[in-house]
Structure 1
Amino acid sequence: MGILQKAAKLLFVCVHLILLSGCWDRKEVNDLALIVGLGIDQTKDGKIMLTAELIVPKAVGGGGQMIGGGDGGGGAETIVRSGTGTTVADAISNLQEKLPRRIFWGHTEVIVFGEKAAKAGIRQHLDFLGRNPEARLRANVFVSKGTAKSVLELSPLIEQSSAEVLRELSESQLLLRVTAKDALQMLSGDAGAAALPMVKILPPEKGKQELQTIAFIQRTAIFKKDKMVGDINDKLTRGVLWLRNEVKQADVTVTPKGEKGKITSTLIRAHTELIPKYEKGKWKMIVKATAEDDIILNGTKWNLMNPKYTKMIEKELAKETDKRIRDTLKKVQKEMKADIFGFAEVFHRKYPREWNRVKDRWEEIFPDVEVVVKTKAYVRRPGIGTTPQGLPEHEVKQ
């Protein structure tokens, strides 16, 4: 009995020793090609061209930080390589053949779709990225005016790589910010519509080389199902942000009635509430948008400590916000007929039974949904200097 117990203990120890030898599947950094930016384009013959912006190993110094080189641009720290195929998976295989290291997706910061690829459809590309265990669904997604490859090939002077430039711009949230996870959720949502930030290459400054510039977020690409159907400018994009309750930063300039000067406010806080109504077969959405602002420029003769003037400014600010929202509804709801505002989900939650009867016809119903916009603005801080700066006291309107 003692011999059997010893044998069992010995077997137990041997089995666990085998399980503890956990280096068989290790992935050394020296064996990996780290992707920071990914571009997806469609070629003239209908194939997929995948472009990867890769970190240059020799540019990594002690502590894992980049060593600046050359003129300080991103080209010293990253290289750009491309592969083609009938699908993204095939293109990656083709790209891998051109690299001595195994591709690793865990550091991908941005994913850029070329305009042609976006119009052809992005679902299958996002499907691949969603299934890849290494891919980061937190990566920011963009559409480029032109090709994605041309965006990643830039050598910015202000950041280490084109991917880092786009990530920083996206994080600033001046316009739309969308991650891969957000894009997948929008396309699989009740409306089947999506909006992605659109980037354009900024012309280089005089005396700089053609590639020594950056791409910046200029517009928003609108998708129905998974195909891009058009785009809107930055002003209408801010209307989209209001309707989606995603506005974080905004400066609004107004000219009060009867005044020659202008007043500019900056946003402190904002909130938008969507209130759905369904009555007698009619769909209606009430939009309540509220803004709290800080005055940062007073070009009038008004003394902003006088509540009469702040009330007048609040009305003008509310009117401007109302206009932005209505202009956006006219373009996106009435003309493009794409529910990128999330109306479908709001109606579905409030009226599930009625929604299920019309969900297959929502694309036809959405343009005719009545939208009532109610905006309010509050001036919380009139600024450090309440009276107009540089103006004689006798000219100030008290």
Structure 2
Amino acid sequence: MKRRIIPRLLLAFCLPCLLSGCWDIKDINKRYLPVVMGICDGKTETYHVTLQVPTVTGTTQILEQEAKSISKALDLIRTKSEKHVDLLHLRLILISEKMAEKGIDDIIDYAIRADDISIKGMVAIVTGDFQKALHHQVGPTPEVSSYDYFSEEAGWTPNVSLVRLWEAYKVSRSYTQDTAIPLVEAGTDTLYEFRGSAIMRNSKMVGTLTPDETLINNIFSEKYTGGTIETAEDASILIKKATVRHRIKWGDSGPQLNSKLHLDIEVSENKQGLSNQEITEEIKTSIEKRGANIIDKLHTLKADVLGIGQLFKPKMTVAQLKEWKERWYPKLQSKIEVEINIRNNIYLKDKLRENNLRM
């Protein structure tokens, strides 16, 4: 009998532990849930950290503090806040252009190490008045937030670059690849205006790409999802699909690259009744020229934003990998060819409709 009682007593003592529940849970009304973090140079300290917290009324509450480190600034924000500051919902980190020119290694390294920041969060650089961009609001619109500008489910288009924290961290440690981070400023009728992309070399901003050049970069990076409007002299077309194929060779003079872009397009406007061949030639010439200009610019800056070094990686020794950006990338001989396939032509449809009516 005693043998049965002892196990039952032990089970009875264990049950309260299982029923304890979430003892450390914090009510959502007792938490601040910032979605955007802004980082720039402080007036008296190294970093000025700003947090944007959306409210139920559709406005944005601002929490900010200066300190010698990002973690200390956040700790000071938590100290003076009447609610718990939870960074688990942080989706976008905005960095000032001035700080980006000095380097963002410390910022990216902190965000990756922090347990409460998602590595899927996005990164952007702000040009112009940084504080204006962080405090900017466009009316009480609770359904719109700063990160929507970079969301693939919201306002993002293929002319806008898109870089997540884990991508920025990975590229910052790479011998053969750099990255282009979106460059924005405070908008007038919208939260932001896209100004192109910041060319990052070893995590330092060394130049910029225009929105049109960013489109080519997205195609090379295989991030194109369709929907971009390109304008010829007398026609407008919609790029429905874009793919790229590369042929590489390492000759006596160094690396050689032939890239072929294949575009599936639809003609949306054709004011002068141009033929398919004329439209094709105009778009082909424009994109090939744009691609050549981008590569020339990147060669000068020694910034491999297009990730071309990744293609030659299997052909290089460890020593060549380490010398890629300084020695071999500037010697790269490259050629870009564009192939265009017109899926439909509204002008041709209109002509057929006119002929049918006459009949």
TM over 0.5: yes
Partner residue of 1:316 out of 282, 303, 309: 282
- Three-state SS of the structure 2 residue aligned to 1:177 is coil
Partner residue of 2:232 out of 244, 248, 254: 254
- Are 1:224 and 2:201 counterparts? yes
Cα distance between partner residues in 1 of 2:107 and 2:256: 35
Cα distance between partner residues in 1 of 2:252 and 2:9: 78
Q: Displacement of 1:387 after TM fit? A: 4.1
Cα distance between partner residues in 2 of 1:199 and 1:6: 71
CA contact (8 A) 1:244 1:342 kept: yes
- Are 1:330 and 2:290 counterparts? no
Cα distance between partner residues in 1 of 2:317 and 2:235: 44
Q: Displacement of 1:272 after TM fit? A: 1.2
Residue identity matched to 1:166: Y
Match of 2:125 in 1: 143
CA gap 1:158/1:26 in 2 versus in 1, 3 angstroms? closer
Pairing of 1:133-212 with structure 2 (within 5 A): 133-157=115-139, 159-160=141-142, 162-168=145-151, 171-191=156-176, 193-203=178-188
Partner residue of 1:241 out of 210, 213, 218: 218
Cα distance between partner residues in 1 of 2:263 and 2:180: 23
Residue identity matched to 2:146: A
Cα distance between partner residues in 2 of 1:24 and 1:151: 40
Cα distance between partner residues in 2 of 1:298 and 1:128: 52
Cα RMSD, aligned residues only: 2.5
Cα distance between partner residues in 2 of 1:132 and 1:173: 30
Per-residue displacement from partner, 1:30-72 (whole Å, max 9, x unpaired)? Answer: 221110111010125551000001123xx2xxxxxxx4xxxxx
- Are 1:346 and 2:328 counterparts? no
CA gap 1:301/1:23 in 2 versus in 1, 3 angstroms? closer
CA gap 1:158/1:239 in 2 versus in 1, 3 angstroms? farther
How many percent of aligned residue pairs carry the same amino acid? 19
Residue identity matched to 1:48: Y
- Three-state SS of the structure 1 residue aligned to 2:300 is helix
CA contact (8 A) 2:59 2:141 kept: no
Per-residue displacement from partner, 1:10-41 (whole Å, max 9, x unpaired)? Answer: 32453354144232221321221110111010
Per-residue displacement from partner, 1:203-251 (whole Å, max 9, x unpaired)? Answer: 46xxxxxxxx521222111111121112222222222223223233322
Per-residue displacement from partner, 1:289-342 (whole Å, max 9, x unpaired)? Answer: 11000000001134xxxxxx323322322222211211111112x221101111
CA contact (8 A) 1:112 1:148 kept: no
List gaps (5 residues or longer) in structure 2. Answer: none
Cα distance between partner residues in 2 of 1:342 and 1:372: 15
- Are 1:214 and 2:194 counterparts? no
Pairing of 1:243-392 with structure 2 (within 5 A): 243-248=220-225, 249-255=227-233, 262-280=234-252, 282-302=254-274, 309-332=275-298, 334-348=299-313, 350-351=314-315, 354-364=316-326, 365-383=328-346, 386-387=349-350
Cα distance between partner residues in 1 of 2:141 and 2:163: 21
Residue identity matched to 1:36: V
